[in-house]
Chain A
């Protein structure tokens, strides 16, 4: 297990979230300026230095449900609002895309190229905002500094950590099915022929060596049929700021040319088996909860989002019928899966943690009172599969403290 997997999976999931939101803003014909503002608000939060400091700190990988809460928080760091089915669908699309990319990389180093592809694309969304561009540029530097010298084994450990975090997910995504990169049982089509990875050999040769006083020379070669047609490697992707990544994994697949492809497959979205994932039945580590808590609190809101009048709803579904079908299917899965005790992280829970309190104190402001217990009671009174953030009761929240500071 790698302690360095979190930044990679966070940036890749974040990139996928922005791709889908961009496409839906376009599909819902949201005014260009408004759409840009939404993207800038989310990106400025996602790439804020304080937030990335915490994300890049070596730590154990978050539980999948923690990412769900974190990205819900990020998505709502603007005037845009997503209802629960839309958020569920958004998260499904994000996780399946990242699972696909992580599975398909031809060698561990490529996982960094996939992340760079996401950053390259995100930068284009906010090319007009110097502030956002500057934040993303800093993220590039941090990413390269952390990962470019890592050996292959460490990167493979990161890859494994991401795949294990996304284990048991088999949501079928229509754009993947259409492209035939996903099978109808929810698995992905893995390459078993074509170019090999850079510096790798084409399978099919056995080389025998002759050893004479420690001097080694090729004695003979023999060939075998490897079963598939392999080709030499194309070329290695570049980590340079504007280099050629070579791989297309991590690029935006929801282009405006395919505006309706962010839908889940119409039948049985979830391929669930009778076996309960051991990821879902285990109790989350309290450390992970504190970590999630901290990350959630570091997500602020733009000043424009402070008035509820500006809020508008973004829908991940093309129409109500589609949303109804999706919700019905989710309900069916939950009923079928009654034996499964889904344990969800509650990002709203307050935990007393020294490190957390220290950071909280950095935000403290005279006259603003942080009421831990009351807030906790408020949250607990709202039963929900994933406890929704409540916009009404955030007076006690660090976010509102930040809002008030901004207004002053």
Chain B
């Protein structure tokens, strides 16, 4: 049972974009980054109070012509955290507090947009694009010498990249696309990504991906969540979870939270017994008349943060 406990203020309102909330918890400080039209709204909370609220408006020229934004995510490495902001034509790398622009990568092709981002092991950042490629960057432990390494094009990615995720160790990269394909790559050897397998069960666009243990959890535009065994290469189950487009997934410990355009966020218990997976529905929270864009655990399963279109705060639901 989760109830609305408090709100996190933002400097501006939230745009509609799937999976548009990123949460970073370090020591006792919580960082929340959410995407607006032309700005990423970043709020830093300490001891339950907002200690810093800012809007990061990435731009290059002195005239500050804005870029439309597609995503923002904290990418955590052993030595540092970077905030990666995806916009039309550019990928911006900021420090964790959004105060210093470390590096900006200009996309060469006008028709290409960055869509989703995640961090791999060995200080690599992977960005999926609208043309179905994956861009790899290397982030040094210190300093601003971020390097673009390579662009990976793989036949199994047939449409725009819609979601990209990595396992806890940073060794398995999964890429979801607009044709419903989930491609699984082995990334033990740094930038030499090797396609392990791919899944395409529904032909509906993949909307979000996450990895729990040895399983890939994928959500689709028709409201279904599917779970695949990453190593046995098989489709294990489908959850008819939402009545509309699913906008986000997040996993923490053995709990999964999903959110959809049906105004619901739902919490699921994941169990693995003798290599058999079982899912129990734990809770459905209705956020009335709200287009939920993202639901994320707030570092632990006790709290869930909800971002929603046109709102100027993040709602936090607490387990009772």
Given contacts A201-B224, A205-B240, A208-B236, contact A167 B310 (CB under 8 A): yes
Interface of B is mostly: loop
> Which of A187, A203, A214, A230 has most chain B Cβ within 10 Å?
A203
Q: Cβ of A406 < 8 Å from any Cβ of B?
A: no
Q: How far is the CA of A103 from the CA of B308 in the complex (A)?
A: 13
Q: Measured between alpha carbons, how far is A151 from B312 in the docked complex, in Å? A: 31
Q: Flag if B289 contacts A189 (CB, 8 Å).
A: yes
CB within 8 Å for A192 and B262 given contacts A278-B36, A279-B37: yes
Using known A-B contacts A208-B237, A278-B12, determine if residue A153 contacts B243 with beta carbons closer than 8 Å.
no
Among A227, A276, A285, the residue within 8 A (CB) of B284 is A227
Q: Is residue A36 contacting chain B, with contact meaning CB distance below 8 A?
A: no
Q: Which residue of chain B has its CB nearest to the CB of A99?
A: B310
* Shortest beta-carbon distance from B320 to chain A in Å: 17
Please state if B264 and A153 are interface contacts (CB–CB under 8 Å). Answer: no
Cα distance, A200 to B57, chains bound together (Å): 38
Roughly how many angstroms separate A202 CA and B162 CA in the complex, as a whole number? 24
What's the Cα separation between A103 and B55 when bound, in Å?
26
Q: Is the interface of A mostly helix, strand, loop or mixed?
A: loop
Would you list which residues of chain B between 21 and 79 have a CB under 8 Å from chain A?
Answer: 36-39, 55, 57, 63-66, 68, 70
CB-contacts of B245-290 with A (<8 A): 245, 262-264, 279-281, 284, 286, 288-290
- Which among A60, A107, A211 is the interface contact of B232 at CB below 8 angstroms? A211
Question: Which one of B12, B159, B238, B240 contacts A277 once the chains associate, using CB atoms below 8 Å?
Answer: B12
A153-B159, A203-B242 known; A283 vs B65 contact (CB < 8 Å)? yes
B188 in contact (CB, < 8 A): no
Q: Is the CB of B65 within 8 A of A153?
A: no
Alpha-carbon distance A318/B223, docked complex (angstroms): 46
Q: Which residues of B contact A203 (CB under 8 A)?
A: 223, 240-243, 262
- Chain B interface residue count, CB cutoff 8 Å, equals 60
Contact present for A273 and B312 (CB under 8 Å):
yes
The complex places the Cα of A202 from the Cα of B68 at a distance, in Å, of: 35
Indicate if B13 sits at the interface (CB-CB under 8 A): yes
Q: Is B16 a contact partner of A199 (Cβ separation < 8 A)?
A: no
Q: Which of B223, B234, B236 contacts A200 (CB 8 A)?
A: B223
A-B contact count (CB 8 A): 168
A266, CB-defined interface residue at 8 Å = no
Q: Cβ of B238: which chain A residues have Cβ within 8 Å of it?
A: 206-207, 209
Can you name the residue of chain A whose Cβ is closest to the Cβ of B12?
A: A278
In this complex, what residue of B is CB-closest to A220?
Answer: B237
- On whether the beta carbons of A1 and B88 are closer than 8 Å, the reply is yes
The bracket for how many chain A residues form the interface is 35 or more
Q: Does A286 contact B65, Cβ atoms closer than 8 Å? A: yes
- Selected from B39, B204, B236, B284, the residue in CB contact (under 8 A) with A209 is B236
Is A259's beta carbon under 8 Å from chain B? no
- The chain B residue with its CB closest to the CB of A165 is B37
Which residues of the partner chain B approach A227 to less than 8 Å between Cβ atoms? 264, 284, 286
Candidate in B57, B243, B245 with the most chain A CB atoms within 10 angstroms: B243
Residue B235 at the chain A interface, CB threshold 8 Å: yes
The yes or no answer to A164 lying at the interface (CB within 8 A) is: yes
B309 interface residue per 8 A CB criterion? yes
Q: B113: which of A1, A160, A192, A225 is its contact (CB, 8 Å)?
A: A1
List chain B residues, Cβ under 8 A from A154: 178
CB pair B11–A275 under 8 Å, yes or no, is yes
Pick the contact of B245: A156, A205, A226 (CB < 8 A).
A156
B53 to chain A, nearest CB (A): 10
Least Cβ distance of B92 to chain A in Å? Answer: 16
List which B220-241 residues lie within 8 A (CB) of chain A.
Answer: 221-224, 232, 234-241
What are the residues of chain A within 8 A of B159 when measuring CB–CB?
151, 153
Nearest 3 CB-CB pairs, A to B? A224-B281, A153-B178, A211-B234
Q: Write 10 A-B pairs (CB below 8 A) sorted by A numbering.
A: A107-B221, A167-B16, A167-B36, A168-B310, A192-B263, A192-B264, A203-B242, A224-B281, A275-B312, A283-B63
Kindly list 9 other residue pairs between chains A and B, CB separation below 8 angstroms, not including A1-B113, A196-B244: A1-B88, A187-B289, A190-B291, A200-B244, A228-B286, A275-B312, A277-B37, A278-B57, A282-B37
